[in-house]
């Protein structure tokens, strides 16, 4: 039997799933993340997974692993903590200050102490070169040979380990970037080089330059990490294709991820969304609200008709976490989700006004929440959940880790005295504040898409997600909550369900009535060939790639664009009518009408290919005996927020329940990787695929 492995390194836990091929039977593993060396926890998780399929024994020969899919917070953390390579920027003469000028927009008009994110490249490491390409791609001035040689000498003297090259209008004509990049690679073989025409070949000079510098900033770190990861896998007896999760919801090869690591900036959250979408479709719910709450953050995303939407602008490393415009804008394809600084490890404190606040700071894996007993003393969401009875101190991670209830009480007692509250009342406050923060963010996310929360089924994943999901659904008036199997390691199931994906884009703003369709057709065909060569690496013979052509369009003189989508075809003269019709339909859908005298303009062209991916059926290795009499394994007092009371409720072992079981809330379902808490009146059903469906009654 063959196996596939998925591993996700999060801020608090490193999760792993191993899947049998064929069959889809899964086994799980979970370890605290080792931040000093993330690969250490990963190696332990992989070892746990290999032992799990050998029933706890070390086999004479390692199980045959045919594929590994990996996602992590490495890129995000590097940008947030500014722990990347010493990076230089090469820019067209007169444009090096674009990183400081930005968009000249204040993200908070009334903040007199407004702080903007510092550029990743300081001014002294930005080098200009005398070249110029016009907006239409015409070459105005070529870089002189002697000036290129001087540039190389300056960068060598600066001692940088990575270089970003972002020249004016290179998204239209990249000849000068390619020439300078070639000279840098030949003269400085140990230095990483990122070209904007490869990383983000799109208009908007500031965003393109920021994306390229971010890619260069993390590239040496990611490349070294992936090389070490492949070595670790080989030492574990695994000689399989390594694929990396992308922010867009697809996977790519390790070599491509090492070249364009910025495309994986949101790899873990993307996996959680795909897991929720797959679980929803498998249970008959195509419209879901994906809710993934781990130890550090929570993520929310709407999925309609089984597919999450993908955007091509993402912001990271915000100075003010919830202030749009306070971070570094990136031109990368990413699943359209929101991230909230609320996780199990989020720290609670009293504000300067004496009010209770939670997060975004996290206790992480070390020292962790106070109840972990690893040296942490700050009160966290996990400590509050423990005091409120939601967590079993003797069955955390299936009993592999014990929680210190008294330590949690002491931590919340200290905070409670600052607030004038008891430890228990403080815990209730933390639970309510963090749930309202997540529900509030979800409301905004849903409203921005003109959707109704009542149309969705909330799908909960992540270690802390099942603890809070039902209460959040109550606040949002979402009628159903679905808990798929292995919910605590949901992002890994998303990795295994993810298609292989490739995307290429370029910008060339032009009126439709002036386009040279032969030139556009040749460019689209060349892009399709290049993308096809990339996705073909490691593509199984049984897989088929679906190709699409996306065009960002607007009326001449506008700034915002709408996206029209076609099955792949090479544009010709007859394509203009189809494009115009599709644009007007999309524009009318978005804005309620069209501009009668408006002139349509094509801005950016995208060629996207992905393997076909149906619903993945993952199989839990054990099923409850259908002939047993269902009884709770214990009773425990939990806080029921709807009625603001604490009451005894039954506690069940989740995977001991057979399919078809129907229960009534409030209750608790325990499993190794998480705990499902239903603190209110609800119908609880165990579906045939062992997912738990909770239908709220109020």
> Structural domain of residue 640, as residue ranges?
634-696
What does the alpha-carbon distance between residue 49 and residue 29 come to, in Å, rounded to a whole number? 6
Type and span of the H or E element at 634: strand 634-640
pLDDT band at 539 (very low <50, low <70, confident <90, very high): confident
Residue after which a domain boundary falls, among 161, 193, 219: 219
Q: Is 570 within the bounds of a domain?
A: yes
Closest Cα partner for 99 from 208, 220, 262? 208
Indicate whether 12 and 108 sit together in one domain.
no
Convert the pLDDT of each residue in 297-345 to its tens digit: 888 999 999 889 899 988 888 777 667 888 899 999 999 988 877 788 8
Q: What is the pLDDT of residue 59?
A: 46
* Mean pLDDT to the nearest integer, 374-395: 92
Indicate whether 32 and 105 sit together in one domain.
no
Does the pLDDT at position 624 exceed 80?
no
Q: What is the pLDDT of residue 614?
A: 82
Indicate whether 507 and 606 sit together in one domain.
yes
Tokens of 557: 């003189």
What does the alpha-carbon distance between residue 565 and residue 312 come to, in Å, rounded to a whole number? 14
Q: Is 127 within the bounds of a domain?
A: yes
Indicate whether 103 and 198 sit together in one domain.
yes
Q: Is 463 within the bounds of a domain?
A: no
Closest Cα partner for 278 from 293, 288, 291, 264? 288
Task: Find out whether 553 and 565 touch, Cβ atoms under 8 Å.
Answer: no
- Going along 282-345, which residue ranges are E strands? 288-293, 298-304, 307-308, 310-311, 314-316, 328-330, 334-335, 338-340
**Measured CA distances, 370 to 341, 366, 391, 399 (Å):** 19, 10, 14, 18
Please return the burial class of 637, using the count of CB atoms within 10 Å of its CB with bins 0-12, 13-18 and 19+. exposed
pTM recorded for the entire structure: 0.90
User: Which has more confidence, 458 or 339?
Assistant: 458
Task: Find out whether 405 and 386 touch, Cβ atoms under 8 Å.
Answer: yes
Indicate whether 163 and 37 sit together in one domain.
no
Residue after which a domain boundary falls, among 189, 219, 249: 219
Q: What is the pLDDT of residue 322?
A: 65
Total domains in the fold of the chain: 4
Indicate whether 111 and 189 sit together in one domain.
yes
Read off the CATH number of the domain in which 73 is found.
3.30.420.40
Indicate whether 540 and 590 sit together in one domain.
yes
pLDDT averaged over every residue in the chain: 90
Indicate whether 89 and 175 sit together in one domain.
yes
Tokens of 509: 């703003």
pLDDT band at 55 (very low <50, low <70, confident <90, very high): low
Work out the end-to-end distance of the chain between its first and last CA atoms, rounded to an integer number of angstroms.
47
Task: Look at residue 91 and give its three-state secondary structure.
Answer: strand
Q: What is the pLDDT of residue 551?
A: 96
- 33-42, 141-150, 480-489: least confidently modelled range: 33-42
Convert the pLDDT of each residue in 568-582 to its tens digit: 988 888 888 999 999
Closest Cα partner for 246 from 259, 234, 233, 236? 259
What does the alpha-carbon distance between residue 527 and residue 533 come to, in Å, rounded to a whole number? 10
Q: What is the pLDDT of residue 32?
A: 87
Q: DSSP string of 384-429?
A: HHHHTT-S-TT-BGGGTB---HHHHHHHHHHHHHHHT--HHHHHHH
Convert the pLDDT of each residue in 600-612 to its tens digit: 999 999 999 999 8
């Amino acid at each position: 039997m063959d196996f596939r492995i998925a591993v996700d390194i999060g801020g608090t836990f490193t999760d792993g799933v191993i899947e049998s091929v064929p069959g889809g039977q899964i086994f799980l593993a979970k370890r605290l993340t080792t931040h000093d060396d993330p690969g250490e926890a990963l190696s332990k998780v992989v070892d746990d997974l290999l032992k799990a399929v050998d029933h706890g024994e070390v086999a004479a020969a390692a199980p045959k692993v045919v594929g590994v899919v990996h996602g992590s917070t490495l890129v995000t953390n590097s940008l947030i903590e500014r722990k990347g390579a010493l990076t230089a920027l090469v820019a067209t003469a007169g444009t090096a200050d674009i990183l400081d000028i930005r968009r000249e927009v204040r993200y908070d008009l009334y903040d007199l102490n407004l702080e903007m994110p510092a550029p990743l490249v300081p001014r002294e490491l930005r080098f200009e070169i005398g070249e110029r390409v016009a907006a239409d791609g015409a070459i105005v001035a070529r870089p002189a040979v002697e000036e290129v040689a001087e540039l190389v000498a300056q960068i060598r003297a600066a001692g940088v380990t990575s270089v970003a090259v972002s020249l004016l209008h290179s998204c239209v004509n990249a000849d000068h970037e390619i020439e300078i990049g070639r000279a840098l690679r030949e003269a400085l073989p140990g230095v990483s080089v990122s070209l904007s025409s490869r990383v983000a070949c799109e208009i908007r000079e500031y965003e393109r330059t920021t994306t390229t510098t971010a890619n260069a900033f993390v590239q040496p770190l990611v490349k070294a990490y992936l090389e070490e990861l492949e070595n670790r896998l080989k030492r574990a007896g695994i000689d399989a294709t390594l694929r990396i999760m992308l922010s867009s919801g697809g996977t790519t090869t390790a070599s491509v991820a090492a070249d364009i690591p910025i495309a994986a900036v949101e790899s873990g959250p993307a996996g959680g969304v795909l897991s929720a979408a797959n679980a929803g479709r498998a249970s008959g719910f195509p419209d879901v609200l994906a809710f993934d709450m781990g130890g550090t953050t929570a993520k929310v995303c709407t999925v309609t008709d089984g597919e999450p939407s993908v955007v091509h602008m993402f912001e990271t490393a915000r100075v003010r976490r919830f202030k749009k415009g306070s971070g570094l804008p990136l031109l990368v394809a990413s699943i359209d989700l929101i991230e909230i600084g609320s996780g199990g490890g989020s720290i609670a404190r009293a504000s300067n006004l004496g009010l209770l606040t939670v997060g975004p700071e996290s206790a992480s894996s070390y020292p962790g929440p106070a109840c972990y007993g690893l040296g942490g003393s700050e009160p966290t969401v996990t400590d509050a959940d423990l005091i409120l009875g939601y967590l079993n101190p003797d069955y955390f991670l299936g009993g592999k880790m014990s929680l210190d209830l008294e330590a949690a009480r002491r931590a919340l007692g200290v905070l409670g005295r600052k607030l004038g509250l008891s430890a228990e009342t403080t815990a209730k406050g933390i639970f309510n504040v963090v749930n309202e923060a997540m529900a509030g963010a979800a409301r905004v996310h849903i409203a921005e898409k003109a959707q109704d929360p009542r149309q969705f089924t909330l799908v909960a994943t992540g270690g802390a997600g099942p603890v809070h999901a039902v209460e959040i659904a109550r606040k949002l008036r979402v009628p159903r909550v679905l808990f798929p199997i292995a919910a605590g390691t949901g992002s890994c199931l998303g990795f295994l369900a993810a298609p292989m994906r490739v995307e290429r884009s370029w910008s060339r703003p032009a009126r439709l009535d002036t386009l040279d369709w032969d030139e556009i057709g040749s460019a689209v065909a060349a892009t399709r060939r290049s993308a096809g060569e990339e996705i073909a690496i490691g593509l199984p013979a049984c897989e088929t790639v679906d190709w699409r052509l996306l065009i960002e369009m607007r009326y001449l003189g506008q700034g915002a664009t709408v996206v029209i989508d076609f099955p792949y075809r090479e544009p010709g003269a007859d394509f203009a009518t189809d494009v115009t019709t599709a644009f007007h339909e999309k524009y009318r859908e978005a804005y309620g009408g069209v501009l009668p005298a408006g002139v349509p303009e094509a801005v950016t062209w995208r060629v996207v290919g992905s393997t076909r991916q149906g619903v993945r059926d993952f199989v839990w290795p054990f099923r409850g005996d259908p002939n047993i009499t269902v009884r709770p394994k214990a009773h425990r007092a939990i806080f029921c927020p709807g009625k603001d009371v604490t009451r005894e409720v039954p506690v069940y072992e989740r995977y001991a329940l057979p399919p078809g079981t129907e229960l009534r809330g409030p209750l608790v379902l325990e499993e190794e990787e998480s705990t499902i808490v239903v603190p209110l009146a609800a119908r609880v059903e165990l579906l045939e695929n062992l997912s738990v469906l909770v239908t709220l009654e109020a």
